């Protein structure tokens, strides 16, 4: 993508207005961040830039001056991964650090392979992240040609993604690609596990090899992970950010995203007798009644509980970390003030 027009990168009047304070600087969009430097696409071609302070991410619009990122323009949407929480004997453990995965994205494709097994839990987790970002999510089942019972798989995935369109595709046969290509306008991002075929899907949508891929293993249908960084690439009609496979994504500040991802549970919860119903043993709990009647799969309630518990834990750890950082900053300020008075 040499010397692209800014409009082909997603530039519009709103971005021009946001860039107005940076007169004399050059606007550009971050294509890749790696090892302390970022590749930025500008009207003059691709340039490398360094930065100070908070790092940019793929999809960011930035203001450049002399090989440096002078500013990151306010993000319209952002995918924020929280610290990973792990279940142990003592409860949840892990870290609370957050990371922006991609910015200014219009469409989020949750990519899940048909083989060896599509994970409903992973789809729910990534949908919560996608809904929270502000992008429009879709679920894409890759390697559809290898599925033993594709109609059954699609229905199972739909049960984990209420209100979200589900598309099955095969990069090998081309089936389903036109429907996904029609959705890949503006800026899209692919989220999914290693070996799901994300890079292969990007190449299929682009109509040429723009991302490196490896063959799947014949023994189990698994692909080997090749993408090691997030990268913005051009496809007909838009741009796509391919991401490394994620084994685990912590949920950071995702109340609205969880409510959207579990809209079936939330709708039932609104009918509970008590407004603060925990859906455990309370009388008149519409959620528990739906599980007992079979209208709501029990795994949906279990998944909702697990992700809410994790999100609350990460939020509490984040709050504790911020309090600790503020206390440390105040101590440093007081210490410096004492030194100044002593002199």
> 208 and 114, same structural domain?
yes
Inside any domain, residue 329: no
Q: Are residues 314 and 258 in the same domain?
A: yes
* Residue 14 belongs to a domain: yes
Q: Which residues contact 335 (CB under 8 A, 6 or more apart)?
A: none
pLDDT of residue 85: 42
In a domain, 283, yes or no: yes
Residues 157 and 104 in one domain: yes
Secondary element (H or E) of residue 141 = strand 136-142
Q: Both tokens of residue 239?
A: 């741009």
Distance, CA of 201 to CA of 223 (rounded, Å): 12
The pLDDT value given to residue 93: 39
DSSP at 18: H
Instruction: Give the pLDDT of residue 80.
Output: 86
Question: Residue 48 belongs to a domain with what CATH number?
Answer: 2.30.30.140
pLDDT at position 4: 76
Domain end among 184, 209, 242? 242
Residue 89 lies in a domain: yes
Side by side, the strands of the sheet bearing 99-103 are 99-103, 78-82, 250-251
Taking the C-alpha atoms of 56, 57, 61 and 64 in order, what is their torsion angle to the nearest 10 degrees?
A: 40
Do 233 and 105 share a structural domain?
Answer: yes
**Do 20 and 101 reside in the same domain of the chain?**
no
Residue 12 CB coordination number (10 Å): 9
Say if residue 94 is in the same domain as residue 49.
no
Q: Give yes or no: residues 95 and 139 share one domain.
A: yes
Q: 258 and 231, same structural domain?
A: no
Shared domain for 13 and 68, answered yes or no, is yes
Residue 35 belongs to a domain: yes
Domain count, the chain: 3
If asked whether residues 98 and 120 sit together in one domain, one would say yes
Q: Which of 19, 38, 72 is the last residue of a domain?
A: 72
Q: Is 13 helix (H, G, I), strand (E, B) or coil?
A: helix
In a domain, 257, yes or no: yes
* Cβ proximity of 231 and 202 under 8 Å: no
Do 141 and 174 lie in one domain? The reply is yes
Residue with tokens 């002593």: 342
Residue ranges of the chain with pLDDT lower than 70? Answer: 1-3, 82-97, 211-228, 245-249, 318-331, 333-338, 340-343
Domain assignment of residue 104, given as a range? 78-242
Alpha helices in the chain (DSSP H): 13-19, 120-133, 150-159, 177-183, 198-206, 255-261, 263-269, 286-293, 298-342
122 burial (CB, 10 Å; 0-12 / 13-18 / 19+) is buried
Burial code (b: 16+ CB inside 10 Å, e: under 16) for 200-236 equals: bbbbbbbeeebbebeebeeeebbbebbbeebbbbbbe
Six-digit token string for 196:
């799901």
Cβ count near 343 (within 10 Å):
4
Question: What is the separation, in whole angstroms, between the first and last Cα of the chain?
Answer: 58
Which of 180, 207, 242 is where one domain is finished?
242
pLDDT of residue 343: 62
CATH number (domain holding residue 132): 3.40.50.300
Residue 239 sits at φ, ψ, to 5 deg, of -130, 145
Omega before 167 within 30 of 0, i.e. cis: no
Q: Is 247 within a domain?
A: no
DSSP one-letter string for 65-128? ETTEEEEEPPPSSEEEEEPPEEEETTEEEE----EEEEES-SEEEEEEESSS---HHHHHHHHH
Q: 82 with 136, same domain?
A: yes
Is residue 328 a part of any domain in this protein? no
Task: Return the pLDDT at 64.
Answer: 97
């Amino acid at each position: 993508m040499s010397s692209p027009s800014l409009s082909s990168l997603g530039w519009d009047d709103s971005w021009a207005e946001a860039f107005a304070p940076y007169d004399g600087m050059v606007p550009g969009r971050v294509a890749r961040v790696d090892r302390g430097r970022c590749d930025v696409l500008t009207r003059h071609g691709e340039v490398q830039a360094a930065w100070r302070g908070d790092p940019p991410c793929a999809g960011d619009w930035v203001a450049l001056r002399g090989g440096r990122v002078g500013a990151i323009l306010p993000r319209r949407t952002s995918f924020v991964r929280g610290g990973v929480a792990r279940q142990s004997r003592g409860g949840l453990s892990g870290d609370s650090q957050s990371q922006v995965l991609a910015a200014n994205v219009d469409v989020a494709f949750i990519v899940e392979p048909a083989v060896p097994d599509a994970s409903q839990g992973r789809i729910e987790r990534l949908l919560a992240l996608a809904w929270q970002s502000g992008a429009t999510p879709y679920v894409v089942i890759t390697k559809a040609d290898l599925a033993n019972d594709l109609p059954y798989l699609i229905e199972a995935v739909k049960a984990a993604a209420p209100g979200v369109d589900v598309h099955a595709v095969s990069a090998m046969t081309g089936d389903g690609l036109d429907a996904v290509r029609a959705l890949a306008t503006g800026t899209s991002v692919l989220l999914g596990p290693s070996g799901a075929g994300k890079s292969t899907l990007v190449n299929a949508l682009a109509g040429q090899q723009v991302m490196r891929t490896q063959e799947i293993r014949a023994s189990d249908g698994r692909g080997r992970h090749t993408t090691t960084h997030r990268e913005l690439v051009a496809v007909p009609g838009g741009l796509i950010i391919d991401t490394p496979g994620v084994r685990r994504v912590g949920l950071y500040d995702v109340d609205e995203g969880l409510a959207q991802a579990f809209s079936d549970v939330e709708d039932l919860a609104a009918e509970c007798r008590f407004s603060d119903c925990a859906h455990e043993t309370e009388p008149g709990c519409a959620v528990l009644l739906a599980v007992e009647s079979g209208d709501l799969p029990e795994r949906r309630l279990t998944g909702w509980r697990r992700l809410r518990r994790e999100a609350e834990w990460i939020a509490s750890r984040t709050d504790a970390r911020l309090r600790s950082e503020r206390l440390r900053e105040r101590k440093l300020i007081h210490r410096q003030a004492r030194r100044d008075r002593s002199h």
